[in-house]
Amino acid sequence: MSSPSTSRRVALLTLGCARNEVDSEELAGRLTSGGWDLVDTGAEADGGAEDADVIVVNTCGFVEGAKKDSIDMLLAASDTGAKVVAVGCFAERYGKELADQLPEASAVLGFDHYPDLAARLDDVVAGRSVESHTPVDRRTLLPITPVRRPQAADNLSVPGHGWLPTNVQRRRLDNAPVAALKIASGCDRRCTFCAIPSFRGAFVSRTAEEILGEAAWLAQNGAREVFLVSENSTSYGKDLGDVRALEALLPRLAAVPGIDRVRVSYLQPAETRPGLVKAIATTPGVADYFDLSFQHSSESVLRRMRRFGSTESFLDLVKQIRALSPSAGIRTNVIVGFPGETEEDLAELERFLTEAQLDAVGVFGYSDEDGTEAEHLADKVDPDVVGERVHRVSQLVDELIAQRAEDRVGDEVVVLIEHEETEEMHCSGRAAHQAPEVDGECVVHEPEGLKIGDLVRCRVIAAEGVDLVVEQIEVLPRSGT
């Protein structure tokens, strides 16, 4: 390995959600601007990492499994012989505690280190001590009143914010035709099972001009679809004085030259207003796709979660969506085995799922999470029972989403090609009702000359579980050409 005086090579590994992926591309931009050369490691800690002086691991700290994955990745990175630096949610959440328990990491840095990360890596390779991050509840760093936050946030490091259209501090880490675009960070909700607000902070929106500028930059750098991410997209604009800001932003994003599809994620059902439903369901260039965080449908369980809604109100929302767009994609996640959940509660959830006929559902079993209110709730469900309920609901979901996919046979869909046909892989992509990685894909039957980034009008000819088999009709031109 070359000496620090002659080599500044860094590998960047990312765990967790699309928001973390955006943060990694910000870090990549900051590091290259600071004189560091990026080493491509692919998806593995040891893939090419022998060429790196430092491996930066952007960790996830959401649930226990994600924490374990983060530790495993940090340990694997240290096995390469490179210096290892932990950043991201796990590092932000635990800071010095993680550093004490993981001596393999040369530094554990929080979000406030991001602006000067290049300099901190210089310290690491030079053998200078870097003080580990000291965690705080990041909700306390901004005013309680949302409209007072925009100026206050200027003095706080909020990953993904502050990029100007003329100077985007971001470097794409792949050549995929879809790219995540952060519209806000943080969350003001107090769900009893979730610790994210404590380490991601209070809700802060990015300005429309900043988002539009980054969308244009992404289009210039190969993206045809932008995937809007945040902790809670339905809150977008409340700190800018306009709770309908997202409704106004969507058509402007769809009009950006080169962007053919805009997708919204992370919607809170209780905050999803009719105007936003209409904007997503009917605006040309916006995917009629609804990523709705139902979590459960029993009123008693939802109240214990500090959430709002019911089976009937959620079914009404589904009906609103399908009245405007019958083919709209709707996905959700649900938690089973939450403290106090009864068999009647579970049956209510099953009734909702059966009647809603959603396109994709993630089923998760409840487990205690550090620092959450639910950790201290009474009437915990036995872990074995939780496992049984996960299996039961998962079986139901598999049947329901397979039937929903089967119902699309004969429909036309527009598919964004993401994988060319090879010996190992079919030519495939995603239709408007399918988000990256989580909602299945469209496999093109006997493709003719298709390449990654093509947008293709297709007809659905079969369904295989949640996946669709399609035949191509025509390749569509890129917007603005």
Is 427 marked as a binding-site residue?
no
Which neighbouring-strand residues pair with 428?
A: 419, 443
Crossing angle of helices 245-254/274-282, nearest 10°?
A: 10
In the sheet that 261-264 helps form, which strands lie side by side, from edge to edge? 178-182, 225-229, 261-264
What whole-number distance in Å separates Cα of residue 126 and Cα of residue 334? 47
What whole-number distance in Å separates Cα of residue 288 and Cα of residue 67? 33
Is 458 marked as a binding-site residue?
no
Tokens at 96, concatenated: 């010095």
What whole-number distance in Å separates Cα of residue 354 and Cα of residue 395? 12
Question: Could you tell me which of 253, 238, 121, 92 has the C-alpha nearest to residue 179?
Answer: 253
Residue 238 is classified by DSSP as G
Asked if 219 and 478 touch (Cβ cutoff 8 Å), the reply is: no
| CA distance readout (Å), 301 to 2, 197, 306, 343, 349 | 57, 21, 9, 12, 10
Is 191 marked as a binding-site residue?
yes
What whole-number distance in Å separates Cα of residue 405 and Cα of residue 399? 10
In the sheet that 9-14 helps form, which strands lie side by side, from edge to edge? 37-39, 9-14, 54-59, 83-87, 107-108
What whole-number distance in Å separates Cα of residue 170 and Cα of residue 12? 14
What whole-number distance in Å separates Cα of residue 447 and Cα of residue 433? 21
Say which residue the tokens 């760093």 belong to.
141
Amino acid at site 397: V
What whole-number distance in Å separates Cα of residue 60 and Cα of residue 98? 13
Asked if 374 and 368 touch (Cβ cutoff 8 Å), the reply is: yes
Is 442 marked as a binding-site residue?
no
Is 60 marked as a binding-site residue?
yes
Tokens at 191, concatenated: 């769900």
Tokens at 393, concatenated: 């609901």
Is 89 marked as a binding-site residue?
yes
Binding site: residue ranges? 17, 60, 89, 187, 191, 194
Which residues define the annotated binding site for [4Fe-4S] cluster?
17, 60, 89, 187, 191, 194
